[in-house]
């Protein structure tokens, strides 16, 4: 029930931001579509802490700031490699440790790896992520960057172990 209320609030904020109209007819359409989406989500049983991780919201802005810093750093590094000579690109595949206990934490970690230019996550395995990096130096920086510690994670663990295909 708490998740449903939070979903309605989130949808209402999204609707008002995207529409910006306050005419009664349009407000009624907005309420109607929010009710419809909430009804579908309830029917599909997708309202749970994993699909709507409201518990993470407070920790996300800090993580995003950290991630933007990493993205800017690695973008500049990758840009140098685009214009570099033959030594600039020596792709490697390495295993990055992933200590996340929940699927959502793992997904945030793997997507953050992919989001930083120079590293792409290839495959999730239990407790590690297989990562393709542009150069051994990029791989070393990624391993020393502390991303595994920085990833925010919902507290409650899901019932099946992470890394299993769903």
Interface with other proteins by CB under 8 A: which residues? Answer: 14, 17-18, 20, 68, 71-72, 75, 78-79, 81-83, 86, 89-93, 110-112, 114-123, 132, 134, 136
Residue among 13 and 40 whose Cβ is closer to other proteins: 13
Residue among 29 and 63 whose Cβ is closer to other proteins: 63
Residue among 39 and 123 whose Cβ is closer to other proteins: 123
CA distance to 9, 18, 24, 67, 78, per residue, from 32 (Å): 14, 16, 12, 37, 47
Q: How far is the CB of 38 from other proteins (least distance, A)?
A: 20
CA distance to 22, 93, 123, 158, per residue, from 162 (Å): 45, 21, 13, 8
- Are 87 and 136 in contact by the 8 Å Cβ rule? The answer is no
Residue among 48 and 123 whose Cβ is closer to other proteins: 123
Q: How far is the CB of 157 from other proteins (least distance, A)?
A: 22
- Are 111 and 82 in contact by the 8 Å Cβ rule? The answer is no
Q: How far is the CB of 116 from other proteins (least distance, A)?
A: 8
Q: How far is the CB of 120 from other proteins (least distance, A)?
A: 5
Which of 73, 58, 11, 17 lies closest to 39 in space, CA to CA? 11
- Are 131 and 109 in contact by the 8 Å Cβ rule? The answer is no
């Amino acid at each position: 029930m708490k998740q449903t209320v939070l979903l309605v609030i989130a949808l209402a904020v999204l609707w008002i931001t995207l529409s910006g109209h306050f005419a009664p007819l349009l407000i009624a359409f907005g309420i109607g579509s929010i009710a419809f989406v909430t009804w579908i989500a309830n029917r599909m049983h997708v309202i749970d802490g994993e699909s709507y991780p409201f518990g993470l919201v407070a920790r996300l802005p800090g993580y995003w700031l950290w991630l933007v810093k990493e993205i800017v750093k690695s973008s500049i590094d990758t840009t140098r490699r685009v214009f570099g000579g033959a030594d600039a690109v020596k792709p490697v595949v390495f295993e990055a440790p992933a200590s996340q206990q929940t699927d959502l934490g793992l997904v945030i970690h793997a997507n953050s790896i992919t989001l930083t230019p120079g590293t792409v996550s290839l495959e999730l395995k239990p407790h590690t992520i297989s990562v393709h990096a542009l150069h051994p130096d990029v791989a070393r920086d990624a391993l020393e960057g502390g991303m595994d510690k920085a990833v925010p994670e919902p507290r409650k663990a899901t019932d099946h172990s992470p890394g299993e295909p769903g």
